[in-house]
């Protein structure tokens, strides 16, 4: 009788093991992803094509460059609100180009303004890099303060 009990017990253990194996196999096969590369793609009829600044006109005044930067930061903020990471990345690149052109002009005037300016540029970068729309909004609020402060020099 003891041997029948042991056989039944080992058969139950085997059945439980097989059931567990089947469960795991079916669970893992349900997670597979199939990519259909031949599927057609479509574009929106009224798609807006973004233009990007490739170079910055060095002849522009500091105020004009900062005005361009303000417009670009506003576009960055809007892109972040829409979760448009590609446009946001392009806007950050534009902001960096403008920053490289205007920073030396601000440095001549004031070390403190350069520190504030660098903070604005850092906020613009972190908004896209860390997916923080609020940082773009802060940059949008702080840049006009820098522009106003330039009037004192």
Q: What residue spans define the domains of the chain?
A: 1-28, 62-150
Predicted local distance difference test score (pLDDT) of residue 95 = 96
Predicted local distance difference test score (pLDDT) of residue 153 = 77
* Burial call 47-64: b when 16+ CB within 10 Å, e when fewer: eeeeeeeeebeeebebee
Q: How many helices (H) and strands (E) does the chain have?
A: 5, 0
Q: How far is CA 94 from CA 18, 19, 87, 117, in A?
A: 60, 59, 11, 15
CB 65 within 8 A of CB 101: yes
127 pLDDT above the threshold of 70: yes
| Full-model pTM | 0.64
Q: Which CATH class is domain 62-150?
A: mainly alpha
Mean pLDDT for the chain overall: 79
């Amino acid at each position: 009788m003891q041997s029948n009990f042991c056989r039944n017990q080992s058969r139950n253990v085997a059945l439980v093991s097989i059931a567990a194996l089947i469960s795991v196999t079916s669970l893992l096969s349900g997670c597979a992803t199939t990519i259909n590369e031949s599927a057609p793609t479509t574009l929106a009829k009224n798609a807006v094509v973004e233009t990007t600044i490739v170079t910055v006109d060095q002849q522009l005044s500091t105020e004009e460059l900062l005005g361009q930067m303000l417009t670009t930061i506003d576009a960055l903020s809007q892109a972040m609100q829409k979760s448009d990471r590609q446009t946001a990345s392009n806007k950050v690149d534009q902001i960096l180009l403008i920053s490289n052109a205007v920073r030396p002009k601000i440095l001549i005037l004031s070390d403190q303004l350069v520190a504030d300016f660098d903070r604005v540029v850092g906020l613009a970068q972190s908004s896209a890099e860390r997916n923080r729309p609020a940082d773009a909004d802060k940059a949008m609020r702080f840049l006009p303060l820098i522009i106003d402060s330039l009037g004192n020099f």
